[in-house]
Amino acid sequence: MADRLDSPFELWAQAEGVPIIRGHFVTNAYEVPLKPWMRNGGLAAFVILEGGEGFGSACICEIPPGRSLNPEKHLFEERIYILQGQGETRFWSRVGAPQTVAWQEHALFSPPLNIWHQHTNTGDQPAKYLAVTNAPLIFNIYRNPDFIFSTDFDFEDRYRGGPDYFGGAGKMVDSLTWAGGFVPDVRKPFLLSTAEYGSGYEVLQLALSGNTTRAHLAQVEVGTYKKPHRHHAGAHLIIVEGTGYALMWQDWDKRIKADFQKGTIYCPPEGWWHTHCNTGTQVVKQVALKSAIRGTGKIYRSTLGVTKGGDMLDRDEEDPAVRRLFEEELARKGLKPA
Ligand SMILES: [Fe+2]
Which residues have C-beta within 8 Å of that of residue 169, sequence separation ≥ 6? 180
100 and 210 both lie in a single domain? no
- Name the percent of the chain lying above pLDDT 70: 97
Residue 31, SS3? helix
153 and 209 both lie in a single domain? no
Residue 16, SS3? coil
150 and 208 both lie in a single domain? no
Distance of CA 219 from the midpoint of ligand 1 (Å): 12
Distance of CA 313 from the midpoint of ligand 1 (Å): 12
162 and 193 both lie in a single domain? no
Give the domain range for residue 182.
170-332
Structure pTM? 0.96
Distance of CA 276 from the midpoint of ligand 1 (Å): 8
Look at 60-74, 128-142, 257-271, 290-304 and tell me which has the smallest mean pLDDT: 290-304
Judge residue 208's burial from the number of C-beta atoms within 10 Å of its C-beta, 0-12 exposed, 13-18 middle, 19 or more buried: buried
Residue 186 lies in a domain: yes
Q: Which residue has the higher pLDDT, 266 or 163?
A: 266
- Residue 136 contacts residue 56 (beta carbons within 8 Å): yes
Q: Which range has the top average pLDDT, 57-61, 184-188, 198-202?
A: 57-61
Distance of CA 231 from the midpoint of ligand 1 (Å): 6
User: What's the DSSP call for residue 52?
Assistant: G
- pLDDT for the residue 2: 63
Distance of CA 244 from the midpoint of ligand 1 (Å): 15
Residue 3 lies in a domain: no
180 and 210 both lie in a single domain? yes
Distance of CA 230 from the midpoint of ligand 1 (Å): 6
Distance of CA 312 from the midpoint of ligand 1 (Å): 10
Distance of CA 175 from the midpoint of ligand 1 (Å): 19
- Helix segments in the chain, DSSP class H: 8-15, 135-142, 145-150, 164-167, 320-332
Residue 1 lies in a domain: no
105 and 176 both lie in a single domain? no
- Over residues 313-334, the pLDDT tens digits come to 999 999 999 999 999 999 999 9
Distance of CA 257 from the midpoint of ligand 1 (Å): 14
Q: Output the CA torsion sign for 74, 76, 79, 85.
A: negative
197 and 145 both lie in a single domain? no
| Cα pseudo-dihedral 234, 235, 238, 242, rounded to 10 | -150
Q: Does the pLDDT at position 195 exceed 70?
A: no
Distance of CA 63 from the midpoint of ligand 1 (Å): 31
Kindly state the average pLDDT of the residues 132-139: 96
109 and 248 both lie in a single domain? no
Look up the CATH number of the domain holding residue 15.
Answer: 2.60.120.10
Distance of CA 6 from the midpoint of ligand 1 (Å): 28
Q: Count structural domains, the chain.
A: 2
Instruction: Give the CA radius of gyration of the chain.
Output: 20
229 and 297 both lie in a single domain? yes
pLDDT grade for 169, boundaries at 50, 70 and 90? confident
Rounded to whole angstroms, the Cα distance separating 214 from 197 reads 18
Distance of CA 284 from the midpoint of ligand 1 (Å): 15
Look at 88-97, 117-126, 134-143, 182-191 and tell me which has the smallest mean pLDDT: 182-191
177 and 309 both lie in a single domain? yes
Distance of CA 100 from the midpoint of ligand 1 (Å): 33
Kindly state the average pLDDT of the residues 48-76: 97
Distance of CA 314 from the midpoint of ligand 1 (Å): 14
Distance of CA 162 from the midpoint of ligand 1 (Å): 34
97 and 52 both lie in a single domain? yes
